[in-house]
Amino acid sequence: MANKRIADGLAAIDELLVTVVDSDIETLHDASVHILTSGGKRIRPQMALLAYLAAGGEEIADVIPIAAAVEMVHTATLVHDDINDHSLTRRGKATVHSVWGRTFALLTGDYLFTKVYELMAPYGADYNMIMSEACTRLVEGETLQAYAAKQGTIDRETYKRIIALKTASLFEASAHMGARLATEDENTIASLSSYAYNLGITFQLVDDILDIIGDPEDLGKPVGNDLLQGRGVLAVSNGLDRRNDARTTTVADVAVQDRPDAIEQMMANLRESGALELVRLQAVESAERARQALIPLPPTSAKSELLSLVDLVLDRHK
């Protein structure tokens, strides 16, 4: 991060995230700090911060609580997701529920949600509506994903709807709030919101590809987890090759002891099915839409950072 203002902003967000979870109930404090300092990419706070600057904002301190709040939403959902997915590691560290148990993980996620609310309270009704809608969309996306995976009915349309709800909505809201704080110009706000929405789509598509071909060491978590849950890129292979086993077999059909082999086989099938290339193509397309959305904005260092972020998201390995 070349720009000192941006670097300082991100440092202030990191600091606020830790100071706001100051509960004297030790478990809540410890579990919250554990997950908040586990080396997240902070991409959603960057959306808020950079959108604010790209829209002409000058008082960086004004946007810090919003930027911290969007990371807090994301973190709360990670803690709850890890319970539902039985994940043991996240960002190379033990998950909250694997250290503190399921009851405390559930409560820690709830606690982090209350802190989102605390961080956002000082902003007006407009911002709180944007944020509450994004939170609702996020939970809807997670629910649709769990439902579709359970029913085995996940298809490409549902997959697109899931990633829009569970990932792109919060990216969009982050930039929307950041931009609105800096300007009243609705075109600028719309450009930055559209940028972030499309970057969110790109981010999730790449995430799902990394679940199949990523290096578990780089990722800090096991690969194949989405397959295990019957979601992710699996959906994209539907209809791509009707003879392909990956289309209909879900891991739930396989005996527990055979699952590692079954996942290995499904991953190999997916790699060969052309599904990954299709997802990659969609990621490239949404990345391009993100770039296009920025065209109307004047050249600033924040705009350059936003453009660099597109490449980073597209080419990331972790």
SS3 of residue 102 by DSSP: helix
User: Residue 167 phi/psi, 5° resolution?
Assistant: -125, -55
Token pair of 147 as six digits: 């439902």
Interface residue with a copy of itself among 52, 113, 159, 197 (CB under 8 A) is: 113
Interface residue with a copy of itself among 128, 183, 225, 301 (CB under 8 A) is: 128
Please enumerate, as own/partner, the contacts of 212-218 that have beta carbons within 8 Å and a separation of 24 or more. Answer: 212/267, 212/270, 212/271, 212/276, 213/271, 213/276, 214/317, 214/318, 215/317, 215/318, 218/317, 218/318
- Binding span for a copy of itself by CB under 8 A among 44-52, 137-145, 258-266, 286-294: 137-145
Instruction: Please check whether residue 313 is in contact with residue 202, taking contact to mean a CB–CB distance below 8 angstroms.
Output: yes
* Cβ at position 127, least distance to a copy of itself in Å: 8
Q: Which of 246, 228, 236 is nearest to 209 (CA)?
A: 236
What is the footprint of a copy of itself within residues 206-235 (CB under 8 A)? none
Q: 37 or 147: whose CB is closer to a copy of itself?
A: 147
Query: Rounded to whole angstroms, how far apart are CA atoms 120 and 117?
Result: 5
- Binding span for a copy of itself by CB under 8 A among 37-45, 102-110, 176-184, 297-305: 102-110
* Cβ at position 231, least distance to a copy of itself in Å: 12
Could you say whether residue 169 binds a copy of itself (CB under 8 A)?
A: no
Could you say whether residue 307 binds a copy of itself (CB under 8 A)?
A: no
Could you say whether residue 252 binds a copy of itself (CB under 8 A)?
A: no
Bridging pattern class, strands 89-90 and 93-94: antiparallel
Q: 168 or 267: whose CB is closer to a copy of itself?
A: 168
Interface residue with a copy of itself among 16, 83, 168, 170 (CB under 8 A) is: 83
Q: 158 or 286: whose CB is closer to a copy of itself?
A: 158
Query: Rounded to whole angstroms, how far apart are CA atoms 217 and 42?
Result: 20
Could you say whether residue 187 binds a copy of itself (CB under 8 A)?
A: no
C-alpha of 96 from chain center: 18
Could you say whether residue 299 binds a copy of itself (CB under 8 A)?
A: no
β-pair partners for 94: 89
Interface residue with a copy of itself among 30, 62, 140, 285 (CB under 8 A) is: 140
Interface residue with a copy of itself among 14, 142, 285, 288 (CB under 8 A) is: 142
* Cβ at position 261, least distance to a copy of itself in Å: 25
Please enumerate, as own/partner, the contacts of 298-301 that have beta carbons within 8 Å and a separation of 24 or more. Answer: 300/53, 300/54, 301/2, 301/3, 301/6, 301/53
Could you say whether residue 122 binds a copy of itself (CB under 8 A)?
A: yes
* Cβ at position 140, least distance to a copy of itself in Å: 5
Neighbours of 256 (CB within 10 A): 7
Instruction: Please check whether residue 237 is in contact with residue 212, taking contact to mean a CB–CB distance below 8 angstroms.
Output: no
Instruction: Please check whether residue 177 is in contact with residue 130, taking contact to mean a CB–CB distance below 8 angstroms.
Output: yes
Q: How many residues interact with a copy of itself (rule CB under 8 A)? A: 43
β-pair partners for 89: 94
Could you say whether residue 84 binds a copy of itself (CB under 8 A)?
A: yes
141-164 residues labelled b (16+ CB within 10 A) or e (exposed): bbebbbebbeeeebeeebbbbbbb
Q: 77 or 238: whose CB is closer to a copy of itself?
A: 77
Residue ranges that bind a copy of itself, judged by CB under 8 A = 23, 25, 27-28, 77, 80, 83-84, 102-104, 106-107, 109-111, 113-118, 120-125, 128-129, 131-133, 135-136, 138-140, 142-144, 146-147
